[in-house]
Amino acid sequence: MAQLLVSAGLPTCMEGLTYPIPFSDPDALRRIALHAEQLGYHSVWGNDHMTTQNYVRSGFATPPRFWEPLITYAWLASATTTLRFGTGILVLPMRRDIVVTAKQIATLDHLSGGRLEIGVGIGAYREEFEALWPDGGAHRGAMMEEGVAALRALFTERSATFEGAYYRFRDVELSPKPLQPKLPIYYGGNSANHIERTARGADGWIPAAMPPGQLRPLVDRLREATAAAGRDPAAIAVAPQYVVRLGSTNEEAVAGFRRSQMHHHLVSLRQSTLRDQAALPMEEVNLIGDAACVIERATRLKEAGVTHFLGLYFATNDVAELLDQMQWFAEEVTPKIV
């Protein structure tokens, strides 16, 4: 069995969502990435937003700094040597020009030395999509899947032509292709539709905050659907995202989590990404507790089929505390679960 992978969240677009404003200035992003590399994390994963969500606007007088992840990674790749970079997730329906997106991805894969992985999704906040598509007329799920097909064509065909409902191009010779012979692409989201999409043509699935009992049957379904598609289930990553908060005691960890902006963010997601988990206690679903508790929960998730704890988001309200939580997890939890 392949070694379990552990990666950390990078706050590219998280001010006002999971972290306060201000939080992630350029120096903080660089410190987090270097810290992750020094601690042995496999990768860092940042998310993708183009405009501010309604609940963030109502809660903060100052707009957040949402850094575009691909450009951010190009800068951070020059400061690191082994750390990989992933988008968790890149919202393809908000990126109308898929050829430009493909060119950015291929360029970044070369500039990073083949250290790029791409997670795609539809986005958790519909108001963001509607701000960019004010006339409507687009189905986010269909647009995302079509975008992945277009990327695959551009990455593999000498001269690519694509005629879809949302993306069209003709005789595009995208060069250079990505440095990696097969650049990893994941579908992100808890919808059962993403399981089928992953089985048909992706390299991994990124759900969020699922307890073992909910995750295990979905992993079984993913493996069955992958085999039915003529692909190897063992080659597909099961890479959920969880929130982490460690404490000397479980009570201390829970109290720290409830004080964090991360807690407010998860409440907001109960209307979208986490609606199927709305009735579950967030403190019990995520990796929140003392080291022994977190190790036990992570072990049960591994037994349920997790192959990669992807982009773990640490529930803190300042960067120094975030760096401390990353180190605590790397030194006391990771060695017991990989």
Average pLDDT over residues 35-56: 96
Beta bridge partners of 43: 84
Pairwise CA distance, residues 231 & 93, whole Å: 27
Which residue in the block uniquely carries the two structure tokens 């020009």?
97
8 A C-beta contact, residue 215 and residue 301:
yes
Cis peptide preceding 185, ω within 30 of 0: no
What does the pLDDT read at residue 273? Answer: 62
137 burial via Cβ count (<10 Å: 0-12, 13-18, 19+): exposed
Q: What is the pTM of this model?
A: 0.95
Q: What is the pLDDT of residue 266?
A: 83
Q: Domain tally for the chain? A: 1
Q: Report the chain's mean pLDDT, rounded to a whole number.
A: 95
Name the residue type at position 25: D
User: Does 1 score more than 60 pLDDT?
Assistant: no
Which residues touch 318 (CB under 8 Å, ≥6 apart)? 20, 23
Q: Give the chain's end-to-end CA distance (angstroms, integer).
A: 11
Give the domain range for residue 73: 5-337
Q: In the structure, what pLDDT confidence band is assigned to residue 238 with cuts at 50, 70 and 90?
A: very high
Question: 136: which strand partners?
Answer: none
**pLDDT at residue number 275:** 62
Q: Is the pLDDT of residue 55 over 90?
A: no
pLDDT tens for residues 79-138? 999 999 999 999 999 999 999 999 999 999 999 999 999 999 999 888 999 999 998 888
What pLDDT is stored for residue 61 in this prediction?
95
Classified as helix, coil or strand, 260 is coil
CATH number for position 297: 3.20.20.30
Nearest alpha-carbon partner for 92 in 66, 70, 61, 59:
70
Q: Give the span between the Cα atoms of 18 and 269, in whole angstroms.
A: 11
333 pLDDT more than 70: yes
Helices (H), the chain: 26-39, 54-59, 69-77, 98-111, 126-132, 140-156, 192-201, 212-228, 250-259, 261-268, 282-285, 291-303, 319-332, 334-337
> In percent, how much of the chain has pLDDT > 90?
89
Query: pLDDT tens digits, residue range 62-86?
Result: 999 999 999 999 999 999 999 999 9
Mean pLDDT to the nearest integer, 274-303: 88
Do strands 168-172 and 160-163 pair parallel, antiparallel, or not at all (unpaired)? antiparallel
| pLDDT of 279 | 67
